Amino acid sequence: MSASPYEQLEEEFKRLHALRGALSLLRWDAAVMMPRGSADVRGEQLAALETEHHALLTAPRISRLLDRAQANTQGLEDWQIANLREMRRERDHAIATPVSLISRLTKAVSQAEVCWQDARAKGRFDLFAPHLEDVVHLVRDKAALLGQALNLAPYDALVDEFSPGITTADIDAMFKALSRRLPALIREVIGAQESRPPRPIEGRFPHAKQRALIIEVMKQIGFSFDRGRLDESEHPFTEGVPGDIRVTTRLDVADPFTGLLGAMHETGHAMYDLGLPQDWRDQPVGRDRGMALEESQSLLMEMIVCRSRPFVRYVQPLIAKHFGLDGAEWEVENVYAHLTRVRRGLIRVDADELTYPLHVLLRYELEKRLLSGELAVRDLPEAWNEGMQQRLGIRPGNDTEGCLQDVHWAVGSFGYFPSYALGAMIAAQLYESLRNDVPTLDEQLSRGEFGGLFEWLGAHVYGLGAKVPVQDLLRGATRKPLSASAYIRYVEGKYLAPAASEAA
């Protein structure tokens, strides 16, 4: 008997999955292993594979098979039907943007990124502005075409690529709640923390010892080094596929926490990827449910779990063991105070979990205005500085610590920023339910037991892959629609609690 249209589609998407895995490995290698002078060669390899992937995905054969499979879904199980939906979604996204536009965007972006690096180093926005204009124009075209094809507003179509099923209306509602509560909360927390600053933590923390500590913690969490690696790179990231996950972090010899927390962030991504449904590993329905949910898992790990007293209780003896340290500054309360310090800063990637959403909010508003044409590229620096002043009460001294700090716009990633803040909201909402369902969670974590955490996440998040939209997944896991409420309760509870209350 010959294969059904659905079965043939599974075969095609299995090949596409393998190509995506190869692309991911090429990117990992470029950031971690590749000789510095070989970027041109790698660029051509990536472009060739991406072209191939796009050609296979948008081939008439796939369209025909999708139509035939969808015409008769009798006999298909719910996972298969969801898989068919995700196949079509992926195809629709790919086919909506003509190859000519993609290739113009690829070229514009590769030039813009180089100029952005130069402009950022020199603090000269004027060098970057003409390239950013090119990129904005092309992304605007792309958003319009995507929007038409997906029947969404242009900006919503961009968001849909990263956070499927989440709309501008959802984001606006959450950001409104954050805007209302966070500025006052930040003021109050900073005031309280300044009145009792932690003992300073200083010293030299050799890379090899940091690595040994991180690997011990990652193993304890359940990361399998038989099917994954930890390396160092300029910016931490996770690449690879379930079955070969590559995590990186950045080690700072003067700071024992940056490397560990960077690795924990990426381990959050990795655990999600490793927990995706085994049977659907090489199919669209077996993938993660987009950037917002990915980011929720990394933030849940880095910000909520690792910056908690139970985790500090578990990790503190390990720090003492690996670095051979035991002064008063290494006591649990003091380490916890360091990990939960709130500061008004100009740089997003250095921000704590309380001020972070405000950085994202600013970018979200500015990128929407840039795309709509309401804000001209030349006026971006002033709008940025004004926004920082309004939201965080500080003003960049130059564009390097202002609108030139992030690479996202240079590489055409519009619609991506909201997923960072959405991730924080989702993480807090999941965590609230998790604590309800697993009442002994704190005791487990303080003993370095992660079973309760990952069983719950496995059942309610990981194991679903891309079977249901984000909103449905969240309703299933938390019995509530996505909102900022849990996040606000979480940060209020954590940052307004008196220091002594839980120290006993």
Catalytically active residues are 266
C-beta of 218: minimal distance to a second copy in Å? 13
> Is position 502 an interface residue for a second copy (rule: CB under 8 A)?
no
Tell me whether residue 30 or residue 366 sits nearer to a second copy (CB atom): 30
CB-CB contact of 92 with 144 (8 Å): no
Tell me whether residue 12 or residue 170 sits nearer to a second copy (CB atom): 12
**Positions 32 through 51 that interact with a second copy (CB under 8 A):** 33-38, 40-42, 44-45, 47-49, 51
Out of 222, 243, 345, 469, name the contact with a second copy by CB under 8 A: 243
Close Cβ partners of 157 (under 8 Å, ≥ 6 residues apart): 143, 146, 147, 149, 150, 415
Out of 188, 244, 255, 502, name the contact with a second copy by CB under 8 A: 244
> Is position 241 an interface residue for a second copy (rule: CB under 8 A)?
yes
Out of 4, 5, 52, 222, name the contact with a second copy by CB under 8 A: 52
C-beta of 32: minimal distance to a second copy in Å? 9
DSSP codes of every residue in 255-324: BTTHHHHHHHHHHHHHHHHHHS-GGGTTSGGGS---HHHHHHHHHIIIIIITTSHHHHHHHHHHHHHHHT
Task: Tell me the CB-side half-sphere exposure of residue 402, using CA atoms within 13 A.
Answer: 23
> Is position 372 an interface residue for a second copy (rule: CB under 8 A)?
no
C-beta of 46: minimal distance to a second copy in Å? 8
Two structure tokens written together for 395: 């003003």
C-beta of 15: minimal distance to a second copy in Å? 5
Out of 147, 154, 228, 268, name the contact with a second copy by CB under 8 A: 228
CB-CB contact of 125 with 320 (8 Å): no
Of residues 295, 302, 299, 283, the one with CA closest to residue 465: 283
Q: What angle do CA 434, 436, 437 make, to 5 degrees?
A: 65
C-beta of 20: minimal distance to a second copy in Å? 9
The DSSP secondary-structure symbol of 252 reads: B
Binding mask 267-306 for a second copy (x = CB under 8 A): ---------------x------------------------
> Is position 21 an interface residue for a second copy (rule: CB under 8 A)?
yes
CB-CB contact of 446 with 310 (8 Å): yes
Tell me whether residue 244 or residue 472 sits nearer to a second copy (CB atom): 244
> Is position 18 an interface residue for a second copy (rule: CB under 8 A)?
yes
Close Cβ partners of 476 (under 8 Å, ≥ 6 residues apart): 460, 464, 468
**Positions 188 through 227 that interact with a second copy (CB under 8 A):** 224-227
> Is position 110 an interface residue for a second copy (rule: CB under 8 A)?
no
Helix (H) or strand (E) holding 249: strand 244-249
The full length of the chain comes to 504
Size of site (CB under 8 A) for a second copy: 35
Which residues in this chain contact a second copy in the complex, by CB under 8 A? Answer: 14-15, 18-19, 21-22, 25-26, 29, 33-38, 40-42, 44-45, 47-49, 51-52, 224-229, 241, 243-244, 282
